[in-house]
Amino acid sequence: MQALSRRLARAINAEAEELAAVLAGFALFFCLFAGYFMLRPIREAMGITGGVHNLQWLFTATFVVMLLAVPLFAWLNSKVPRIHF
């Protein structure tokens, strides 16, 4: 296992102490993109089912919900202490 971590550290130009953070970041983005690509067909099917006339309202509703959700997420994130690796 140490040989693998040494090779990985050399390949990405990272210190051995940084590998846990790098792997956690990779896992986070992998899960984020996997979830997005699993939900995208459902989102598109809902848009097609609703019809072209309702597509404008779907975009508007998405925009408004994100306008409310992003500041709420930022506020919640500011209350959680950061973990240092």
Nearest to 2 by CA among 26, 22, 24, 19: 19
pLDDT, tens digit (0-9, with 9 covering 90-100), for 66-81: 999 999 999 999 998 8
pLDDT, tens digit (0-9, with 9 covering 90-100), for 44-71: 888 888 887 888 888 899 899 999 999 9
DSSP codes, 1-52: -HHHHHHHHHHTT--GGGHHHHHHHHHHHHHHHHHHHHHHHHHHHHHHHH-S
Predicted model pTM: 0.56
| CA 20 – CA 26 distance, rounded (Å) | 10
Nearest to 62 by CA among 46, 83, 77, 82: 46
